[in-house]
Amino acid sequence: MNFIAPDRTETESLRIRTAARVVSRFAAERADALDRTGGFPARDVVECHEAGLLAAPLPVALGGSGLDAPAMAPVLLNVLAEVGRGSLALGRLYEGHVNALSLILRYASEPVLRRLVADIHAGHLFGVWNTQPQAGGLVLDPHGTGELAGVKSFASGAGAVTRPLVTARRPDGRQQMLVVSLEPGTRADLSSWCAHGMRASTSGVLDFTGLPVAAQAAVGEADDYFREPHFSGGAWRFTAVQLGGIEAVFDSLRAHLVATGRGGDPHQAARLGEAAIAVETARLFVGRAAALASDPDAEPARVIAYVNLTRLAVERAGLDVLERAQRSVGLAGFLQTHPLERLMRDLATYLRQPGPDRALTHAAAHVLADARTADALWRDPGTNDPADLQPGRAA
Ligand SMILES: Cc1cc2nc3c(=O)[nH]c(=O)nc-3n(C[C@H](O)[C@H](O)[C@H](O)COP(=O)(O)OP(=O)(O)OC[C@H]3O[C@@H](n4cnc5c(N)ncnc54)[C@H](O)[C@@H]3O)c2cc1C
């Protein structure tokens, strides 16, 4: 673990949160103009780099802000939520970058790490591309020529991410993580990304066929990508970005009620109150999930189950806020001229994440088999866990 003196940690936390707020504000201003096929937020990504956000997940010793340290999880939460609040598309891209760095820090060998850290400081955007079509997924060296074959789908930042971390099937059938070097604007097909929302995430198809695999592309051993509890537990980070998107819809709903003078009506007040409960529920869940998933001493099974519950709790909160916003604002909120229109499409789209039913039933199976009483399911009674007292609070 990375040791940082408390005063330095606090200064850096404040600096990086302020940077996230500034980047988020500019991203929010540009988001409507980028809401189209191929509308990648290139300027926002450059600002992330210039503000130190791309390097922030690295340890201080590697020139980052130390957001990889367990104690910095609340700060990372706030940074992810802040970026997502300004632009969910940028939040998705940034979360992919943070996820890639976390895998690289955990599994890369020293020389690979050193090379990739230099790329991070040079401003390369990373991402994690695991999803692929059932047929035609990515294969490592199928013809013994040292090349890749196949595609990744729903690849956020396709054509702009120049250092994707991908999973590729090895000849023995297991999955190998590789960080591949791509030239901007090459190999991407965005024609399939004609999405309801999240258009600026440019989550298209990337064809790797014929791309030579560099000797130092491999990160970790076979199937490390799926190692638990990190694989399932890491999902807390996308819930933090979703939280930002939920908060943006909530703020827009409230602004509408204030501007139209309709907030005092008892029906409108009740819906706003319910939406406020949903937002806070999401924030409390994400705060607790971040604390648990970042605690090296936490029980792995408990981490996985809690993060799975968090995914569903945040999805529910998002759907609740969307419903309240649609009913409270009415048809005006569906017009492209209303700020809610894109915010709601982006959130509805980004709430779609893999296997939600499985996440819920997996958590239920954990609870069923756990003999501890309800008060002790997720925390050890008698311990004063700071995360319980102040979930999600910035350090
Ligand atoms: C904006 C955006 C950006 C993305 N970017 C990336 C990226 O950069 N990299 C990447 O790897 N992926 C990315 N993804 C893809 C993402 O990781 C998921 O693969 C995708 O969101 C899955 O959504 P889905 O609704 O199709 O999930 P599914 O898992 O297909 O779920 C759809 C429904 O089917 C149910 N279901 C799932 N499996 C089964 C089954 N076997 N039998 C019966 N029912 C089942 C689910 O519970 C759910 O109800 C992105 C997704 C989005 C929305």
> Which residues, 6+ apart, have CB-to-CB distance to 165 below 8 Å?
99, 100, 103, 104, 126, 127, 128, 129, 177, 178, 179, 219
Residue with CA nearest ligand 1 atom 19? 354
CATH code: domain 230-389 is: 1.20.140.10
pLDDT in tens, 326-363: 999 999 999 999 999 999 999 999 999 999 999 999 99
End-to-end CA distance of the chain: 17
What top-level class would CATH report for the domain 128-224?
A: mainly beta
Q: Cα of 181 to ligand 1 centre, how many Å?
A: 26
Confirm whether 6-125 and 230-389 share one CATH topology: no
One-letter amino acid at 68 equals D
From 99, 182, 203, give the residue whose CB has the most ligand 1 atoms within 8 Å, as the site to mutate: 203
Q: Given the CA of residue 88, which atom of ligand 1 is nearest to it?
A: 1
Distance 388 CA to ligand 1 centre (A): 31
Residues with CB under 6 A from ligand 1: 92, 96, 127-131, 154-156, 198, 201, 203, 349-350, 352-358
Residue of 152, 156, 166, 316 to test ligand 1 pocket, by largest number of atoms within 8 Å of CB: 156
The one-digit pLDDT tens for each residue of the chain (395 residues) are 455 555 778 888 999 999 999 999 999 999 999 999 889 999 999 999 999 999 999 999 999 999 999 999 999 999 999 999 999 999 999 999 999 999 999 999 999 999 999 999 999 999 999 999 999 899 998 888 889 999 999 999 999 999 999 999 999 999 999 999 999 999 999 999 999 999 999 999 999 999 999 878 999 999 999 999 999 999 999 999 999 999 999 999 999 999 999 999 999 999 999 999 999 999 999 999 999 999 999 999 999 999 999 999 999 999 999 999 999 999 999 999 999 999 999 999 999 999 999 999 999 999 999 999 999 999 987 665 555 544 443 33
DSSP states along 170-238: -TTS-EEEEE----TTSSEE-TT---SS-GGG--EEEE-TTPBPPTT-EESSTTGGG-TTHHHHTTHHH
- In angstroms, the CA 81 to CA 87 distance is 10
Question: Of ligand 1's atoms, which has the minimum distance to the CA of residue 357?
Answer: 47
Indicate the top mutation candidate among 353, 360, 361, 362 to test ligand 1's pocket, ranked by most ligand atoms within 8 A of CB. 353
Taking only the tens place, the pLDDT of each residue in 49-106 is: 999 999 999 999 999 999 999 999 999 999 999 999 999 999 999 999 999 999 999 9
Q: What are the domain boundaries of the chain?
A: 6-125, 128-224, 230-389
Q: Which atom of ligand 1 is nearest to the CA of 201?
A: 1
CATH number of the domain at 6-125, please? 1.10.540.10
Cβ-Cβ contacts under 8 Å for 350 (sequence gap 6 or more): 88, 92, 197, 198, 241, 242, 245
Ligand 1 centroid–CA 355 distance in Å is 6
**Which atom from ligand 1 is nearest to the alpha carbon of 349?**
53
For helices 300-329 and 339-350, angle between their N-to-C axes, nearest 10 degrees: 150
